[in-house]
Structure 1
Amino acid sequence: MADTLIAVSPKDTRAQRQLDALLEQEGICRDGNLDYTCGLFDADWKLAATGSCFGNTIRCLAVDRRRQGEGLLNQVVSHLMEVQAERGNTHLFLYTKPQSARFFCDLGFYEIARVEDRLVFLENRRRGFSDYCTALEQMRREGEAAAVVMNANPFTLGHLHLVERAAAAHETVHLFVLSEEAGPIPSTVRRRLVQAGVSHLSNVICHESGPYIISGATFPSYFLKDADSVIHTHAALDLEVFGKIAPRLNIRYRYVGEEKSSRVTALYNGEMVRRLPELGIQCRVIPRLEHDGQPVSASTVRRWIHDGRLGEIGPLVPKTTWDYFASPEAKPVIAAIRACEDVIHY
């Protein structure tokens, strides 16, 4: 009887136990955030190979070592690519172990970055990352530059304080606003509020982060809770990719806000302090702007909106952000924030 390739239900406890055992056997940490998993089972319904998806990424790929060399991984990846095509995802990213990277290159994936002996990050577009960097390079200016990366969910006076500190110290600041749709405030709104809030700073250039900076592909655990070890690995990957972007814009400094409340951001900041100097980039951690003795944060703004305290956010946000939330245009966004169960970034 031939092998059978099927979707594995989260409720199938027997299959889930086999998945965990196979991944552990192959030294792979099972991702806590997956939205599709398949398994290739033999005639006795023993798991021979598996792979999973999350968003437009393919991950958690493994083949039983007793069945390696039979082309099983090719079957699994082909199936997952079909699943992604049905979802409308054509630009795909893939994580694998370094020793498996060459195999995926033969399947039409191209390496973007790797984290030591832990992880290789690939995409299925030959010039995807290269074209992204080339487009950014059109905005390069003379002299050393600094970078700021932010979600700005929404843009606060704390964000503005960070950008102004960088703008005062450098000829050019490249400000990357996360493109990911991962909250009640749409990316188009977040980006517009950032651009309006920094419009008085002539040396600040705003960019969309795209899929290569703190995205669901490079850093999914920024958006979804995961184990600290996974957060560290994702953060390291994100910074490796950023280290390839920075020279295209002559970025030598990256500014970040001090973090005391968000666990994932604090872990990410720690990785930046350790890793960025190795990539030729100095990391400058700026103390948070405070209001009434408390750090100004987007989480606080969202919580106050959620709790019906919209009128109190004025001291925490630029006038441009306040004008938006006080306008009729913001009503659907305010309703979406109030409908959230949890508005605090973990």
Structure 2
Amino acid sequence: MDEYTISKVWPSDSATLAKVDALLEREGIQRDANLDYTCVIQDDDMNVIATGSCFGNTLRCLAVDDRYQGEGLMNKLITHLMDVQYERGNTHLFVYTKVGSAKFFCDLGFKEIARVDGMLVFLENRANGFSSYLRGLEATKHPGTAGAVILNANPFTLGHRHLVEVAAAAVDTLHVFVVSEDASLVPFAVRKKLVCEGVADLNNVVVHDSGPYIISSATFPSYFLKDDAKVNEGHARLDITVFERIAAALGITRRFVGEEPTSQVTGIYNRVMLEELPRVGIEVTVVPRLAIDGAPVSASTVRRALQRGDLERVRALVPESTYRYFASADAAPVIERIRTAGNVAHY
């Protein structure tokens, strides 16, 4: 094992990446389109005999050639990738792996969070990470029926408000999860603030951070980065499988989603949700989009109005609390970010 060295693969190194793809394919793995670090171990003839990658705070696309199993190459890869992550400041790590490899990661101290279709296992390197998150949620559990809404709210619009109102009227307690991943044009701290202000008058609504467990770069990177439909669906299934455990902790039996006529990735997510959640006793309700002047209200429309400086159009599409923020000096850096972003629509 000591004779092997690990090399970084640059995105421009198409020859080595082709060998990475070939090894992954033999192991039944498709290389993710969105990776920010890839490394390999090669033999004397420059054949790739082991590979691993990172994206955000996740380890993925891990494989060792069958002929080199038992030589400690996977352990060497994982140690290297964890060092890369720690150098980046990422200490809470997640890994996707095949079911057959899960025990290896558990032996390294990773803890299983969820399994998908008996083929994929999702783990983290904290023994009490997800369980601690669930305990925090359980403290907000109330008697009676419970529902859930998950919002990115980039930013919070009258459409989001309509969805929350409809859902809150149908259950005793509505749990609203705000996507914590800071990959949107409107920062998480602002998005959560606007959600909290926008639902403050609804007494049965509880607002939560989603943490790294709901629509995050760990569970559902396709929400933030363009991927093909097959990859989107795989990520959606993982995210929904994790949500099932969250729902169990809170006694959630209904999930409410907005109708999605334009976003491909959200449309796929909603379709998978409609297939999977009823199997575990969670009813999915698709709420028709709120329309103003014959057009559905969307955060993309609000971002486009902000991009061109049309605050009057923004005011027509958002709650007063959201408008007050964007009309204030505090919003200047966010508006500038939106103005220089190019395409502000969600694919």
What TM-score comes out, normalization by structure 2 length? 0.98
**In 1, distance between residues paired with 2:223 and 2:67?**
36
Alignment match, 2:132: 131
CA deviation profile, 1:154-196 (whole Å, cap 9, x unmatched) = 0000000000001111110000000000122110000000000
Query: May I ask how many residue pairs the two structures share in their alignment?
Result: 346
Deviation (angstroms), 1:315: 1.2
Alignment match, 1:169: 170
Say which SS state the counterpart of residue 6 (structure 2) adopts. Answer: strand
Alignment match, 1:232: 233
**Residues 1:100 and 2:98 are matched in the alignment:** no
**In 2, distance between residues paired with 1:70 and 1:228?**
37
Say which SS state the counterpart of residue 52 (structure 2) adopts. Answer: strand
Contact 1:219 1:237 in 2 (8 A): yes
**In 1, distance between residues paired with 2:256 and 2:66?**
45
Matches within 5 A, 1:63-142: 63-142=64-143
Deviation (angstroms), 1:245: 0.7
CA deviation profile, 1:304-330 (whole Å, cap 9, x unmatched) = 111222221111100000011011111
Structure 1 counterpart of 2:331, one-letter code: A
Alignment match, 1:340: 341
**In 1, distance between residues paired with 2:208 and 2:197?**
13
Say which SS state the counterpart of residue 321 (structure 1) adopts. Answer: helix
Structure 2 counterpart of 1:272, one-letter code: M
Contact 1:93 1:217 in 2 (8 A): yes
CA deviation profile, 1:56-84 (whole Å, cap 9, x unmatched) = 00000011111112111110011000000
Say which SS state the counterpart of residue 51 (structure 1) adopts. Answer: strand
**In 2, distance between residues paired with 1:58 and 1:93?**
6
Alignment match, 1:310: 311
CA deviation profile, 1:32-62 (whole Å, cap 9, x unmatched) = 1100000011122111100000000000001
Matches within 5 A, 1:170-249: 170-249=171-250
**In 1, distance between residues paired with 2:119 and 2:105?**
16
Matches within 5 A, 1:37-56: 37-56=38-57
CA deviation profile, 1:6-50 (whole Å, cap 9, x unmatched) = 111111122111111111111101101100000011122111100
Contact 1:133 1:248 in 2 (8 A): yes
Say which SS state the counterpart of residue 324 (structure 1) adopts. Answer: helix
Structure 1 counterpart of 2:70, one-letter code: G
Alignment match, 1:264: 265
5+ unaligned residues in a row in structure 1: which ranges? none
Say which SS state the counterpart of residue 80 (structure 2) adopts. Answer: helix
**In 2, distance between residues paired with 1:329 and 1:259?**
31
Say which SS state the counterpart of residue 175 (structure 2) adopts. Answer: strand
Deviation (angstroms), 1:117: 2.9
Contact 1:175 1:204 in 2 (8 A): yes
**In 1, distance between residues paired with 2:39 and 2:283?**
43
**In 2, distance between residues paired with 1:13 and 1:271?**
34
Contact 1:3 1:43 in 2 (8 A): no
Say which SS state the counterpart of residue 39 (structure 1) adopts. Answer: strand
Deviation (angstroms), 1:248: 1.2
Say which SS state the counterpart of residue 257 (structure 2) adopts. Answer: strand
**In 1, distance between residues paired with 2:184 and 2:123?**
26
What TM-score comes out, normalization by structure 1 length? 0.99
CA deviation profile, 1:268-319 (whole Å, cap 9, x unmatched) = 0001110011122100000000011111000110011112222211111000
**In 2, distance between residues paired with 1:295 and 1:71?**
55
Contact 1:4 1:42 in 2 (8 A): no
**Residues 1:301 and 2:307 are matched in the alignment:** no
Contact 1:2 1:43 in 2 (8 A): no
Runs of 4+ in 1 over 6 A off after TM superposition: none
CA RMSD of aligned residues (A): 0.9
Deviation (angstroms), 1:109: 0.8
**In 2, distance between residues paired with 1:238 and 1:184?**
22
Say which SS state the counterpart of residue 313 (structure 1) adopts. Answer: helix
Structure 2 counterpart of 1:182, one-letter code: A
Contact 1:2 1:42 in 2 (8 A): no
Matches within 5 A, 1:26-41: 26-41=27-42
**In 2, distance between residues paired with 1:210 and 1:84?**
19
Say which SS state the counterpart of residue 45 (structure 1) adopts. Answer: coil
